[in-house]
Amino acid sequence: MSRPSLLWKFYIAAFYIFLFAPLLVVAVFAFNASPFPSPPWKGFTLEWFIGTGSVFGKPGVLMDPIWLTTILNSLKVAVPVAVLAVVIGTVNAWLLERAEFPGKTLFAMMMLWPLVIPGVILGISILAFFSRLANGLEDFLQTDIDGLRPGLMLIVLGQLSFILTIATLIIAARLRKFDRSLEEAAFDLGASRTRVLRTVTLPFLSPALVGAGLVALLMSFENFNTTLMLVGSDPPLPITMYGQMREGATPAINAISLLVMVAVGGLASLFALTSKGDR
């Protein structure tokens, strides 16, 4: 098996072409001076990024308030999700690795559930439950609580339901590698409990905290299935993209996709750089 056959090598090459072809065409047709993201090539343009709409009747994505608000909506979801995922994930990781309490195995098992539940079902179950909650509270308090109705707040909760599992797993994996005698040594040298946490434990965890935060940010930004069920009047980016793709795409979607790819590539390489410190 040590000498791969020509056929095998050919297959590998074909595979990687297959893997990158869709991304490549998305990127290329973002610059096509045509109202449709299709061949033939009609020349290079940046109109779909920064155009004012005078050429194709639609402004470029960076000039279009629809795209800009939808990106803002995505950030309004992704940032709280990432922050909460890191904070709660750290607490959960501590429970998993350090604490002893009855029912811990059950807790560890239940924590994994969200990963095996399809995202659509997480979405509808949270939608249904929070609607009932909102209806109940409305009858009781005589006011409607907006946060429990479809909207950004509910999307944050829906995404947290499974992103928390992933954040917890990332942080717990790092915590498991921690040598507890480091904490004891710091304590022995006169540090207070909070100082030990601040100067020893958290610095050790920090690559995992940054990593979990970036992964959470990315997963939130790109989540579609759960978000679709919980979306209200202000759609995040994937929902808007989906709507436009159903209607018949313009190269504006290519342009926004390319921007997302660049941003994601940046985040991913940041993550790769921080996780290198792990090993």
Partner 1 sequence: MKPAQRLTLFLLMAPAILWLGLLIILPHVEILILSFSERVAPRVYQFGLGNYLEFFTEPLYWRTFARTAIMSILVTACTLVLAFPIALYIARVAQGRLKAMLLLMCLLPFWVSELVRTLGWMILLRETGVVSYVLQSIGLASQPVELLYNDGAVILGLVYGGLLFMIVPLANALESLEPSVVEAGFDLGGSRWTVLRRIVIPHAMPGIVAGSIIVFMLTVGNFATPVLLGGKNGLWFTEQIYAQFITRFNWPQGAAFGMLLLMLSSIIVWAGLRLSGQSLGTTLRQA
Partner 2 sequence: MSSSTDLEIINVIKRFGSYNAVDGVSFSVAQGEFFSILGPSGCGKTTLMRMIAGFEDPTSGDIRIREKSMIGVPANRRPVNMVFQSLALFPMMSVGENVAYGLTCRGVSRAEADKRATRMLERVGLKGFGDRRVTALSGGQRQRVAIARCLVLEPTLVLLDEPLGALDLKLREHMKIELKQLQAMFNTTFVYITHDQSEALVMSDRIAVMNQGHFEQVGSPRELYNNPQTPFVASFVGETNRWSGETASASGDAVTIRLPSGATVQGKGQAGKAQSLCFVRPEAIALGTDQASLGNAANRFEGRVSAVLFDGANSSLLIDAPGFEKPARAVLPQAGPLAGIGVGAPIHFGWATDSMKVFAA
Please, which of residues 128-157 interact with partner 1 by CB under 8 A? 128-130, 132, 157
For residues 146 and 184, which CB has a smaller minimum distance to partner 2 in the complex?
A: 184
Amino acid at position 112, single letter: L
Q: Tell the smallest beta-carbon distance from residue 192 to partner 2 (Å).
A: 6
* Under 8 Å between Cβ of 267 and 214: yes
- Alpha-carbon gap, residue 125 to 199, rounded angstroms: 42
276 sits near partner 1 (criterion: CB under 8 A): no
- Supply 164's token pair: 């928390």
Start-to-end Cα distance in the chain = 30
Residue 60 is a binding residue for partner 1 (CB under 8 A): no
222 binds partner 1, rule: CB under 8 A: yes
Partner touching 179 among partner 2, partner 1, none, CB below 5 to 8 Å by kind = partner 2
What does the DSSP 8-state code read for residue 41? P
* DSSP tag of 277: T
- Scan residues 124-183 and list those touching partner 2 (CB under 8 A): 179, 181-182
Residue 74 near partner 1 by CB under 8 A? no
35 binds partner 1 per the rule CB under 8 A:
no
**Residues near partner 1 (CB under 8 A), total:** 82
The stretch near partner 1 (CB under 8 A) out of 48-56, 57-65, 120-128, 137-145 is: 120-128
Pick between residue 8 and residue 277 the one whose CB is nearest to partner 1: 8
- What's the CA gap between 163 and 173, in Å, rounded? 16
Asked if 278 touches partner 2 (CB under 8 A), the answer is no
CB nearer to partner 2: give 105 or 181.
Answer: 181
Please say whether the beta carbons of 159 and 85 come within 8 A. no
CB atoms inside a 10 Å sphere around CB 209: 22
CB 254 within 8 A of CB 26: yes
SS (H, E, C) 51-118: CCCCCCCCCCCCCCHHHHHHHHHHHHHHHHHHHHHHHHHHHHHHHHHCCCCCCHHHHHHHHHHHHHCC
| 71 in contact with partner 1 (CB under 8 A) | no
Which CB sits closer to partner 1, 137 or 261? 261
Our finding on whether 111 is near partner 1 (CB under 8 A) is yes
In contact, 216 and 81? CB cutoff 8 Å: yes
Instruction: Identify residues 181-210 at the interface with partner 2 (CB under 8 A).
Output: 181-182, 184-192, 195, 199-200, 203-204
Q: Which residues bind partner 2 (CB under 8 A)?
A: 179, 181-182, 184-192, 195, 199-200, 203-204
